[in-house]
Structure 1
Amino acid sequence: MSNTAKSVWNNCLKFIKDNIQPQAYKTWFEPIVAVKLTDNALSIQVPSKFFYEWLEEHYVKILKVALTKELGKNAKLVYIIKMENTYGNKQPFTEKIPSSNRSAVKSQDVDIPLNNKSPELRNPFVIPGIRNVKVESQLNPNYSFDNFLEGDSNRLARSAGLAVANKPGGTSFNPLLIFGGVGLGKTHLAHAIGVDIKDKYPEKTVLYISAEKFTQQYIDAIKKNNRNDFIHFYQIIDVLIIDDVQFLSGKTGTQDVFFHIFNHLHQNGKQVVLTSDKAPVDMQDIEQRLLSRFKWGLSAELQTPDFETRVSILKNKLYRDGVEMPEDIIDYVAKNIKSNVRELEGAIISLIAQSSFNKKEITIDLARVIVEKFVKNTKREVSIDYIQKVVSDYFQMDVDTLQSKTRKRHIVQARQLAMFFAKKFTKASLASIGSQIGKRDHATVLHACKTVDNLTSTDKQFRKYVEDITKKLSV
């Protein structure tokens, strides 16, 4: 039987080879092994579930044509997955081996075993040429739960992080998505989860990586024809922590490969932790199938810390650094720096530095000088919501009116100005700006920006609007 299966498959391969790129053929068809032929069903063995999904998504049509030429219109293709026990339900004209036969297809010569001992595995974190598959976690041990102080602003996210650290992959918080603005502690919490897991489960493979670095590794893998090695490397991770996942926006190739890696990890009970500057519902240019998976677990927001939490953060920082400071000065700093934890700690470090370098006593006057300079020199993050409020207040209307569908001239102009300033002061895409300002499309935003530019150069009164609002947003 196996010889017949091999000859049928070889004939299929000849047809496929003539119709696809050589590199694609080498990557996706050479590793396949024909196993058996029963009636009109050809069974083939593939290295992984990801492999199966890729063939089904990209080559199902050519497979169907090739097999139909060999076995007729009732041809079937049966996948035997070599290294996994997880099975999907995507079955166009193909099907996977039934569960009753799974034990029969487990192979002794698995290419990339999940126990991470294969010397063939290419680790993208080590210097090329060094045969090393040990995965360094890339975690910063200075970021821990002990110095991530709990408050109303972060209680849910911190509690979920602790639950994940206690039982990685075994809670309903998978994935755990931590989101919030700049400097609120997303990266700190992500590292703390990883550090705690490594402490409790030293045998687990934990990896922290930024989405930007993940993308660069993927690009390098494509250039070096190591795409499969890249995928297999990430499939062995027990706890994968991806920071700033919004960076994947618009990068369809990286999103596609991450989708398959995510599926593999999730289906095998591995833990995924993500951080983002926005909630999944607000992410732009991320594929829906990926966004839906982000929502499978828990999305926990980190908010701006309240006064009491800010005081606790400062006291903890001073205690760790072995520095004493009067209560009234701590209160003054906490009251005047509200935006985020990073700025708060930066201000206290500046205050300590000024005091020690200049041999000055830490007084309220010194604190006032430092805080004023710090706040002035720290660029405040301007959000689209804040821009809409400033513009609405300037024209003495509420935000709902500004976002409404009315065509009244003064409201339309206010809306166009909000879009113009959102493009100027934020990194949001045109589509994101439009969706947040009255659910408009990107073309409307583009038109609004051109209109504002034209009116600024031709209309003196309109130019004053632009100058006034610019001053308010730049304060």
Structure 2
Amino acid sequence: MTRDAQDVIKQLRTCLASRIGSDRFDLWIGKQVRFQLVDDRLVVCAPDQFSLDRLRKQFRSDISVVARDVVQREVVLDFQVDATPKADTANSSPSLSAATGQQDASSTLQFRTSAPPSRPVRRNVTGLRTIDSFVVGAGNRIAYTAAKSICERPGAVSPLFIYGPPGCGKSHLQEAICSTVRQSLGLRRVLSLSSEQFTSYFLDALQGSGLPSFRRKCRDVDVLAIDNIQFFAGKRATLVELQHTMDALLRQGRQLILTADRPPNELSRLGPELAARVTGGLVCGIESADYETRVAIARQMAVRSQRPIPDDVLQLVAAELTGDARRIAGALNRLEATSEALEKSITIDFARSTLAEIFRATVQVVRLTDIDRAVCEAFGLDARSLKNGGKGKSASHPRMLAMWLARKYTRAAFSEISEHFGRRSHSTVISAEKKVNRWVSDGATIQLGPAACNVEDAIRRIETQLRIG
């Protein structure tokens, strides 16, 4: 097996874990499944027929998309039961794969257009991420319109920066743009990476493969998309390389697409230089999906289900699972799998029983330490400054907000809250609660990073960090 083949398999596993989540990857793929590159096929080897059927049903589209992005061409998937599984080698997790490089693969990396599967395959309810499959709502309409415009005229607005909480649709739009310009406009030089991939490739280049090759890969493109750039924080050398890459592409009129979990003015650890480059293009925020949008998402996913899901069940799922669309997909997948296994129809009572554990898990228990973390993250503070800082606004305003949130979302007494935040008297908490209520009623602004922000927006962002908003 060549080094290139090893790298492709290693990269594919890492990207797949990032796409579907490390927990799901470890459960269904990490220690059970091997990948092989054989001529023009990507062979997916499962240890038994049950696992094979589940892979086909749950992850076929995810594997297909990731493989296409890794090798920059369409991939033929071939699912097989592994006659001789090797648990200590190819079935390692992405992190172990990186260390051992023991996945089986051939050295041939040429892939041809995908052929139809030899037999019908059940589809994952999430389906492929395209512009047409993106559910438009009040909180994402501007980002959707911008993405659609770029699909028609890449480079017209660059960079496009999309921010929002996890599961709001940022990656969907990024992936949709890349696939659309490949297919509709015939642009072959389209590169879509996570921030971890960009960093890994850059470090590999520094340590041996050479910077010229890395720069050709990232700069000789029509479209470069990088997901979750907040993870570049603290990586000074990588940030400098990213800025030079952005400059090179913008000079050529190429399309840049960047996503993050917060707006540019809150990415203080990435430095003002990057923020200036980002804000020179188009910045679009996406909010967590409201109830109507979640219902529409659930209905679209249900169309792909192999078993009928009544609308009252979809409305129940949308009402119980707020925010992240991945939760809705997971719930519908569980309903379908359980219904199939028990040979029962999906009804409202069946859904409540089957999803009771998932619904209970969404009832967030908030601790004072959770509020510490969320407030410090939003304001760029450390815990010591939040608790023991002086009376300056940079510390006192976040502290008052933290006390207000503690009163709203925990059962802690005034005395417990005041002690937690290093205050001598519980009257400090009472005063903070009154002051923040007055800020909210007056529509006041508060300093959030280098820019002023409406206090209600600041609260909403902190609540998003807590996953309770």
TM tier, shorter chain? 0.5 to 0.7
Percent identity (aligned): 29
Q: Say yes or no: does 1:180 pair with 2:169.
A: no
The Cα shift of 1:474 comes to: 10
Q: Which amino acid aligns with 2:330?
A: G
- Alpha-carbon distance in 1 for matches of 2:199, 2:351: 43
**Pair 1:153–1:245, CA change in 2 (3 A):** same
Q: Which amino acid aligns with 2:134?
A: F
Higher relative contact order (CA 8 A, sep 6+): 2
The CA deviation string for residues 301-323 of structure 1, in whole angstroms up to 9 with x for no partner, is 11122222212111111112343
- Alpha-carbon distance in 1 for matches of 2:365, 2:161: 22
Q: Say yes or no: does 1:308 pair with 2:292.
A: yes
- Alpha-carbon distance in 1 for matches of 2:198, 2:302: 35
Which secondary structure state, in structure 1, belongs to the residue aligned with residue 344 of structure 2? Answer: coil
- Alpha-carbon distance in 1 for matches of 2:174, 2:365: 22
The CA deviation string for residues 246-268 of structure 1, in whole angstroms up to 9 with x for no partner, is 11111110000110110010010
Gaps of 5+ in 1: 1-126, 388-416, 449-458
Say whether the 8 Å CA contact 1:141–1:195 is kept in structure 2: no
The Cα shift of 1:207 comes to: 0.6
Which secondary structure state, in structure 2, belongs to the residue aligned with residue 224 of structure 1? Answer: helix
- Alpha-carbon distance in 2 for matches of 1:278, 1:421: 18
Q: Which amino acid aligns with 1:293?
A: R
**Pair 1:257–1:310, CA change in 2 (3 A):** same
Say whether the 8 Å CA contact 2:160–2:257 is kept in structure 1: yes
**Pair 1:252–1:422, CA change in 2 (3 A):** farther
**Pair 1:268–1:253, CA change in 2 (3 A):** same
> Aligned match of 2:233 in 249, 252, 275?
249
Alignment of 1:312-351 (within 5 A): 312-351=296-335
> Aligned match of 1:224 in 208, 217, 220?
208
Structure-1 residue corresponding to 2:281? 297
Structure-2 residue corresponding to 1:239? 223
**Pair 1:319–1:441, CA change in 2 (3 A):** same
**Pair 1:212–1:429, CA change in 2 (3 A):** farther
Structure-1 residue corresponding to 2:129? 143
**Pair 1:474–1:313, CA change in 2 (3 A):** closer
The Cα shift of 1:354 comes to: 1.6
Which secondary structure state, in structure 2, belongs to the residue aligned with residue 160 of structure 1? Answer: helix
- Alpha-carbon distance in 2 for matches of 1:153, 1:465: 39
Say whether the 8 Å CA contact 2:187–2:222 is kept in structure 1: no
Alignment of 1:148-227 (within 5 A): 148-169=134-155, 171=156, 173-224=157-208, 226-227=210-211
> Aligned match of 2:416 in 438, 449, 462?
462
Structure-2 residue corresponding to 1:440? 394
- Alpha-carbon distance in 2 for matches of 1:209, 1:215: 10
The Cα shift of 1:366 comes to: 2.0
Structure-1 residue corresponding to 2:89? none
Say whether the 8 Å CA contact 1:231–1:257 is kept in structure 2: no
The Cα shift of 1:294 comes to: 0.7
Say whether the 8 Å CA contact 2:306–2:336 is kept in structure 1: no
**Pair 1:436–1:167, CA change in 2 (3 A):** farther
The Cα shift of 1:433 comes to: 6.2
Size of the alignment, in residue pairs? 292
- Alpha-carbon distance in 1 for matches of 2:418, 2:311: 46
Q: CA RMSD in A?
A: 4.1
Say whether the 8 Å CA contact 1:208–1:240 is kept in structure 2: yes
**Pair 1:463–1:203, CA change in 2 (3 A):** closer
Q: Say yes or no: does 1:428 pair with 2:377.
A: yes
The Cα shift of 1:241 comes to: 0.4
Say whether the 8 Å CA contact 2:224–2:256 is kept in structure 1: yes
The CA deviation string for residues 112-169 of structure 1, in whole angstroms up to 9 with x for no partner, is xxxxxxxxxxxxxxx9xx89999x9xxx992111221111121111110010111000
- Alpha-carbon distance in 2 for matches of 1:131, 1:326: 47
- Alpha-carbon distance in 1 for matches of 2:192, 2:285: 20
The Cα shift of 1:214 comes to: 0.4
The Cα shift of 1:441 comes to: 6.1
Alignment of 1:43-192 (within 5 A): 142-169=128-155, 171=156, 173-192=157-176
Instruction: Work out which of the two has the higher radius of gyration on C-alpha atoms and give 1 or 2.
Output: 1
Say whether the 8 Å CA contact 1:205–1:239 is kept in structure 2: yes
TM-score of the aligned structures, taking structure 2 as reference length: 0.54
Say whether the 8 Å CA contact 2:308–2:346 is kept in structure 1: no
Say whether the 8 Å CA contact 2:130–2:176 is kept in structure 1: yes
Which secondary structure state, in structure 1, belongs to the residue aligned with residue 167 of structure 2? Answer: coil
Structure-2 residue corresponding to 1:279? 263
TM-score of the aligned structures, taking structure 1 as reference length: 0.54
- Alpha-carbon distance in 1 for matches of 2:282, 2:417: 46
The CA deviation string for residues 414-438 of structure 1, in whole angstroms up to 9 with x for no partner, is xxx6xx5444468838835689998
Structure-1 residue corresponding to 2:69? none
The CA deviation string for residues 175-197 of structure 1, in whole angstroms up to 9 with x for no partner, is 11111101111111100000110
Say whether the 8 Å CA contact 2:174–2:225 is kept in structure 1: yes
The Cα shift of 1:439 comes to: 5.3
The CA deviation string for residues 307-359 of structure 1, in whole angstroms up to 9 with x for no partner, is 22212111111112343222222222222212221111211111122211122
Say whether the 8 Å CA contact 2:290–2:323 is kept in structure 1: no
Which secondary structure state, in structure 2, belongs to the residue aligned with residue 246 of structure 1? Answer: helix
Say whether the 8 Å CA contact 1:431–1:441 is kept in structure 2: no
